Amino acid sequence: MSLTDQIVQYLVTGVSIGAVYGLVGLGLAIIFNATGVINFAQGEFVMLGGMCAVAFTGLGMPLIVAALLSIAVVTAVGLLVERLAIRALPRASIITLIIATIGASFVLKGGAKLLWGPEAVILPSFSGHAPLHIGAAGIDPQRVWVMGVALVSVIGVQLFFKYTLTGKAMQACAINRSAAQLVGININRMVSLSFGLSAALAAIGGIVLTPVTMMRYSQGATFTLTGFLAAVVGGLGNGIGAVVGGIMLGVLEALAGGFVDVATRGLIHSGYSKAIALAVALLILWLRPQGLLGRRERESA
């Protein structure tokens, strides 16, 4: 396989895992905009999406039914997290609420272990294993599913914010809470919606990714951290920025995993790929603290 083919293969690997980081980052941005809180349970929604889909197909449900039901269940869990970790603490500071979401993540992780045990589970590929060929590079068709479904989800969210009244009302809340209340928007409802929407996005990512990477009860934290970094690198609060950041981290991780070993003649092991991606992300934040697509703090009018 030529170098170009290898690069193509690593790019597909990177973009597909990065797309899931991007969905997590997008969800974090939506919740951050509505509440000012970083939801550290976000990655658990990815894990739950995958685990639920495996459980439901195991009960004999067709894949599409299992997937939709999983999204519904995880959305409900997201709403529950909002009720118990955010709304139940109306006078709490932002930092207290963030810690509450960390608590929620432990509960979800522990619950998943109780329900499904410590083993990794896998979902069958959506459309078989026969690789698609681009040149000599063989592409796992499931990775195409991951990229396609993520793309459709991101576009769907953008259309929702741009063209629906509820989407505009959510933006209004993010821009100014008091003003939003003064036009009659119920802030609590918008915050609930932001958790539901974010949980659904993460679940979608988990469901499409599980056939590629398998899923285990303990995997949520990785998604939270990488998704958080994606959101920060992209510019916190900027949804598209989070998606771009996520894809960038995924690609860096894949390329580092593929080439760093050879390029450094074995000096740096490919197991450091994640660390390399994080180092580049930190470098970007050093040069551009507001993130790739983030705006500098605006002065008030």
Partner 1 sequence: MSLLELRSVTADYEGLLALRGISLHANEGEITALLGANGAGKSTTLNVICGLLPTRSGQVRFAGEDISHLRPDRVVRRGLTQVPEGRLLFDDLTVRDNLLLGAYSRMRRESRRRIEEDIDGVCELFPILAEFADRRAGTLSGGEQQMLAVGRALMSAPRLLLLDEPSAGLAPKAVSEVFARIQALCRRGTSVVLVEQNVSAALKIADRGYVLEVGQIVLEGTAEELLANRDVQRAYLGKDYEEV
User: Given the rule CB under 8 A, which residues bind partner 1?
Assistant: 165, 168-169, 171-172, 175-176, 178-187, 300-301
**How far apart are alpha carbons 144 and 32 in whole angstroms?**
29
Q: Which is nearer to partner 1, 160 or 259 (CB)?
A: 160
Give the residue among 55, 67, 106 at the shortest CA–CA distance from 84. 106
- Cα 205 to Cα 50, 104, 201, 211, 284: the distances in Å are 8, 20, 6, 11, 26
Shortest spacing between CB 171 and partner 1, in angstroms: 6
Nearest CB to partner 1, comparing residues 73 and 173? 173
- Min dist. Cβ of residue 187 to partner 1 (A): 8
Q: How far is the CB of 301 from partner 1 (least distance, A)?
A: 7
* Smallest gap from residue 246 Cβ to partner 1 (A): 23
Residue 268 to residue 160: CA distance in whole angstroms: 44
> Distance (Å, rounded) from C-alpha 239 to C-alpha 156?
12
In the complex with partner 1, which residue's Cβ is closer, 4 or 186? 186
* Exposed e or buried b per residue across 101-135, where buried means at least 16 C-beta atoms within 10 angstroms of its C-beta: beebbeebbeebeeebeeebbebebbeeeeeeeee
Coil, strand or helix: which one is 216? coil
Q: How far is the CB of 185 from partner 1 (least distance, A)?
A: 5
For residues 109 and 65, give the distance between their C-alpha atoms in angstroms, rounded to a whole number: 24
Beta carbon nearer to partner 1, 170 or 203: 170
User: Could you give the dihedral angle defined by the CA atoms of residues 146, 152, 156 and 162, in that order, rounded to the nearest 10 degrees?
Assistant: 120
Closer to partner 1 by Cβ: residue 61 or 172: 172
Give least dist CB 36 to partner 1, A.
17
- Closer residue to partner 1, CB minimum distance, 96 or 181: 181
Q: Would you say 267 or 301 has its CB closer to partner 1?
A: 301
Judged by beta carbon, residue 169 or residue 281, the one nearer partner 1 is 169
Q: Which residues does residue 139 pair with via DSSP β-bridges, in sequence order?
A: 132
Smallest separation (angstroms) from partner 1 to the CB of 29: 14
DSSP states of 88-153? T-TT--HHHHHHHHHHHHHHHHHHHHHHH-SS-B----TT-SPPEEETTEEE-HHHHHHHHHHHHH
> What is the sign, positive or negative, of the torsion defined by CA atoms of 79, 84, 90, 91?
negative
Rounded Cα gap, residues 110 and 175, in angstroms:
36
Min CB(175)–partner 1 separation in Å: 5
